[in-house]
Chain A
């Protein structure tokens, strides 16, 4: 394989006599999109893994240079299509920071609302796909998948009522948000949250009381605290390795300082710890959405008027980096403005990209079946990895 020779391969030797190089992906049921892992096997044991990415590269950063500040937010959502609100928010927050544009209080709260609902929806999809990785599309995993998707649909219904779209929203705009809450939305949202909260206990009892689920997740894919910090993983994976870091608390943005964000941490660092962290984040997000609905201030939802032309937002020359806590970890956007209606340069920092980098360090030594379990627990979205 000449194409992989200059790439670093972390390898553990088992002294077996014969090795099998198996190509997993980019077309594979558990590739979560288009991930390619070149596994070197000794029997069932993986001794080396070479991760190949780039199959979903769409030149997002170059694209951002060709689109105006008004146009790009709805394109930004396509970087991480599973939690579209995250990238939109990172982009507009970055433009607002560089351009020193105020955001009304109500808009900030609405952004928190959208971000937390999006986190619930994204974690629902993660839970389903991860269980499907372990349980198969023709087995118990598919059952959890369909249950989780059913709950995700409820959140998407809320987003549809709010923005008119179900997957890629275009909710945020520079200076605020585009839509205010429709009549009766808040009550419907509370109802949905209560429903999901009840269902969470069902999933937990279905999974945690199941010995097979526990043996598949506990002690599998352990990321030590040191490794997590060295590689630079973020989000639930970092917190599952015992590091209590969350951008929402470390560097509050968009009025997160008004809420006392609880950061769940588990020290074990295995797949089960990451699962527990995300289950706790479900509940934390539900709590935060309720707090937002309780304390939603009155006022304008945007400091700028609605869209009249695509070039209407111009910001002064400058540059800046903004980071927010997405469902998968820290999503950052580095923006260089040259005074025009378009950014001069844009750089995305995708959470999935840095999380994926940990795979070659932890997979060697596990069985083939664990590869998909570990990959699912990392929760990569390849739109965000490759951009």
Chain B
């Protein structure tokens, strides 16, 4: 089989797995949130416990009328969901789900992930601008502010495991954690993990950093004018980004597919760890109030950025003194 075809096939499989995962993660989040709020959550569609709810949601969105506002910039408006979705799905390209099980285990995997995941802002801004809606415009402005402010802390926090492992390759980072997850690394590991989670919340635009969606102020932010399948694409992109970042967190700090049991359990462990990261993020989301745009920027520039920078320098110092491997 030619290598290009092989990549295409694995890419197709991963894409479908990701979309299926994203669809069902919404159910997980809704059930989890319902539990927190002493509700039951989706229950009636599909037996038992609303198992068909995500499918019903997707079908409903597909059948909704596709509305383009008369004043919208049609090209930008129509293109934005795709530009938003592509980087969000593309980040899965470098994630290995088990040794050798992934689309492409690049030797600069982490860098690729960080670079591509920041690209979503382009689609986001296009959506906000192209809608020609004041709420959407404000939301796009906030989004640019926020992404610029939180990308650096996010990258610095993610670089701590990279420095500890001495490699940018995802599989090499996991191998370096054999028997000793980076989150357990005294001091540095825990701080970096917390900083990573905070920056993750901001990068994923979730409460308490969801100022660009901010439905109580900006109705729905940049996607206020989107309906039907375009809305579904944006939603899909958002959740794909969230899941991708959870996988990255599990991979960088929680030892990826490493775990007891036979080797074929690897992907299961990886999924469980990623879902654990996702649920922590969800837990925060459903218990905090949103903070204001100026406060978000203050947290990033005054606290998170210097802290992660110091953390990275400290890690580098420790590694230089001890040698490359832990």
| A interface residues (Cβ-Cβ under 8 A, vs B) | 20, 22-23, 28-30, 41, 43-44, 131-143, 146-147, 150, 206, 210, 212-213, 215-216, 367-372
Please indicate which of the listed interface residues A22, A141, A150 has the most CB atoms of chain B within 10 Å of its own CB: A141
Q: Look across to chain B and name the residue whose beta carbon is closest to the beta carbon of A21.
A: B134
Q: Which of these binds chain A: B91-99, B103-111, B203-211, B314-322?
A: B203-211
The 8 closest A-B pairs by CB, nearest first: A139-B207, A135-B289, A140-B288, A146-B37, A134-B289, A30-B216, A369-B292, A140-B287
Tell me, rounded to whole Å, the shortest Cβ–Cβ distance linking A222 to chain B.
16
Q: Within the assembled complex, what's the spacing in Å between the Cα atoms of A90 and B206?
A: 45
Q: Look across to chain A and name the residue whose beta carbon is closest to the beta carbon of B37.
A: A146
Which residues from chain A contact B215 at a C-beta distance below 8 Å?
29, 136-138
Q: Within the assembled complex, what's the spacing in Å between the Cα atoms of A28 and B218?
A: 9
Within 8 A of A (CB), among B237-291: 285-291
Tell me, rounded to whole Å, the shortest Cβ–Cβ distance linking B285 to chain A.
6
> Are A367 and B293 CB-contacts (below 8 A) given A136-B215, A139-B207, A140-B207?
yes
Task: Check if B219 sits within 8 Å of A139, measured CB to CB.
Answer: no
Q: Is the interface of A mostly helix, strand, loop or mixed?
A: helix
User: With contacts defined as CB atoms under 8 Å apart, how many contacts are there between chain A and chain B in the complex?
Assistant: 112
Q: Within the assembled complex, what's the spacing in Å between the Cα atoms of A147 and B287?
A: 12
Residue of A23, A134, A143, A147 touching B216 (CB-CB under 8 A) = A134
Which residues from chain B contact A28 at a C-beta distance below 8 Å?
219
Tell me, rounded to whole Å, the shortest Cβ–Cβ distance linking A45 to chain B.
9
Task: Check if B293 sits within 8 Å of A135, measured CB to CB.
Answer: no
Task: Check if B219 sits within 8 Å of A29, measured CB to CB.
Answer: yes
Task: Check if B210 sits within 8 Å of A139, measured CB to CB.
Answer: yes
Which residues from chain A contact B207 at a C-beta distance below 8 Å?
135-136, 138-140
Tell me, rounded to whole Å, the shortest Cβ–Cβ distance linking B250 to chain A.
24
Residue of B206, B286, B293, B294 touching A143 (CB-CB under 8 A) = B286
Tell me, rounded to whole Å, the shortest Cβ–Cβ distance linking B293 to chain A.
6
Supplied contacts A139-B286, A141-B289, A216-B290, 13 more A-B pairs, CB within 8 Å? A22-B135, A22-B138, A28-B219, A30-B217, A138-B213, A139-B288, A141-B216, A143-B287, A146-B39, A150-B38, A215-B292, A369-B217, A370-B292
Q: Within the assembled complex, what's the spacing in Å between the Cα atoms of A117 and B35?
A: 29
Which residues from chain A contact B295 at a C-beta distance below 8 Å?
215-216
Residue of B38, B216, B294 touching A44 (CB-CB under 8 A) = B294
Can you list 9 A-B contacts (CB < 8 A)?
A20-B137, A30-B217, A138-B215, A139-B290, A140-B208, A216-B291, A216-B292, A216-B295, A369-B211
Q: Mark B36-59, 1 if CB is under 8 A from A, else 0.
A: 111100000000000000000000
Q: Within the assembled complex, what's the spacing in Å between the Cα atoms of A43 and B216?
A: 18
Q: Within the assembled complex, what's the spacing in Å between the Cα atoms of A212 and B216?
A: 16
| Residue B214 is within 8 A (CB to CB) of chain A in the complex | yes
> Are A212 and B138 CB-contacts (below 8 A) given A139-B207, A368-B217?
no
Task: Check if A134 sits within 8 Å of B290, measured CB to CB.
Answer: yes
